[in-house]
Amino acid sequence: MARPRRSKPHRMSKTHDRRAHDLPRNADVIPVEIDDPLALEPGDKIVALRSVRSDPLGRLHAHKQLDDAQYRAGRAFQNDWERAERGPQAIDPSREHVDGARGREPVTEGQRQAVLRLNGAERELGADGAAITHDVLVHGLTMEQVGHKRGLASQRWNDYFARRFKECLDRLAVVYGFSTDRIARKCDGAVRSGRRGES
Along the 199 residues of the chain, how does pLDDT read in single tens digits? Answer: 666 666 665 555 555 566 666 777 777 777 778 888 888 888 888 887 777 777 888 888 887 888 889 999 999 999 999 988 875 555 556 667 666 556 556 778 888 899 999 999 999 999 999 999 999 999 989 889 999 999 988 999 999 999 999 999 999 999 999 887 755 454 444 434 444 444 4
Q: Determine the residue type at 134.
A: H
For 106, what's the count of Cα atoms within 13 Å in the CB-facing half-sphere? 2
pTM of the predicted model over 0.85? no
Q: Which of 151, 156, 150 has the alpha carbon at shortest distance from 131?
A: 150
CA 172 and chain centroid, separation: 12
Round to whole Å and give the CA distance between 106 and 88.
6
Round to whole Å and give the CA distance between 25 and 58.
20
